[in-house]
A = this chain, B = another copy of it.
Amino acid sequence: MPDAPATLIALDWGTSSLRAYLLDAAGRVLGRRESAHGIRALPEGGFPAAFAEAVGGWPEALPVLMSGMIGSRSGWREAPYAEAGPAGVGLPELAAELTDIADLTGRPAWIVPGVSARTEAGPDVMRGEETQVVGTGLTAGTVALPGTHSKWVEVREGRIAGFRTSMTGELYAALSRHTILADTLSPPADAAEDAAGFAEGLAAARGLQTPGDLLGAFFSIRARALFAELAPGRTGSFLSGLLIGAEIAANAPEGAPESAPIRLIANAALAARYATALTAFGLASQTLPPDIAAAGLHAVARAARLTGETA
């Protein structure tokens, strides 16, 4: 079967990476490129060069749709946030608020809006995850997108009903590199040691009572290591379990049976870590396949009729 013709270029352009997809009318991936040219990894004014490299050689007439931090204040052009009010945010609102950047790219090109929501703790924002969530095609359930700034998204009637962000991955990096724990944390010798340290960290997270207890738990890793109550090779995995456990306890739904598992969107290693943690909390999970962002961009492009097809 010959390839169907390409109808869309989709860019998932985040903080630390840039993924480009060439898609046909059914959303099949005809071409895939990936680079480390995330918006934080570019020199001042580096957007045009990174863009040209990402799409170079692909048909110039094709519409280009982008999502992610490329639309943030530190991106190429700031795109608005679609607000997840009482009715949530769905494909129609995302498609209706595209930001045209043809003048910057020299091609027909747009950026998908981010989404904002209001939680008890104030406003919250996402850029890129909204496109992945619509890419799941899910009509109801919880989607977790772990990472630097983990997102926990509640989907109802095929719409983003609300979400919360947890600064888990970035806090792990800051603690392990820029505090006294930098002298304490060691990588595990093998997978068994990693699993043991991670499980201990999860257990410690479940024992915490108040938010401030977390500030004590960070220091306790050093004290445990000093008294050989935590093997050196378990320290880094322990911190990982402590943070992920606290994140799950604060954000996961009360229950998640096999019939309605928490959907995980992350690279394989991180998804496996969260799946292990969710199991420890008695919650079922299902890791979604890669290229969800491409599926989401394809869905938004169809809804916005960028590709000339009927949606």
Interchain CA distance A123-B221 in the complex, whole Å: 9
User: For the complex formed by this chain, how many copies does it contain in all?
Assistant: 2
A212 on the B face (CB < 8 A)? yes
State whether B170 touches A179 (Cβ < 8 A).
Answer: yes
Interchain CA distance A73-B205 in the complex, whole Å: 28
Q: Which residues from B are CB-within-8-Å of A166?
A: 212, 215-216, 219
Per the CB 8 Å criterion, the residue count for chain A at the interface is 55
Q: Which residues from B are CB-within-8-Å of A226?
A: 73, 123, 125
Q: Nearest chain-B residue to A183 (Cβ)? A: B74
A229 on the B face (CB < 8 A)? yes
State whether A248 touches B212 (Cβ < 8 A).
Answer: yes
Majority secondary structure, A binding face = helix
Within the complex, the shortest CB–CB distance from A200 to chain B, in Å, comes to: 10
Q: Which residues from B are CB-within-8-Å of A77?
A: none
State whether B167 touches A174 (Cβ < 8 A).
Answer: no
* A contacts, CB < 8 Å to B: 73-74, 116, 119-125, 149, 164-168, 170-171, 173-175, 177-180, 183, 204-205, 207-220, 222-224, 226-227, 229, 243, 246-251
State whether A179 touches B174 (Cβ < 8 A).
Answer: yes
Within the complex, the shortest CB–CB distance from A14 to chain B, in Å, comes to: 13
Interchain CA distance A164-B226 in the complex, whole Å: 16
Other than A211-B249, A216-B251, give 8 A-B pairs with Cβ distance below 8 A.
A74-B183, A121-B217, A123-B223, A123-B224, A164-B216, A174-B175, A177-B178, A205-B212
Which of B211, B219, B243 meets A165, CB within 8 Å? Answer: B219
Interchain CA distance A201-B219 in the complex, whole Å: 22
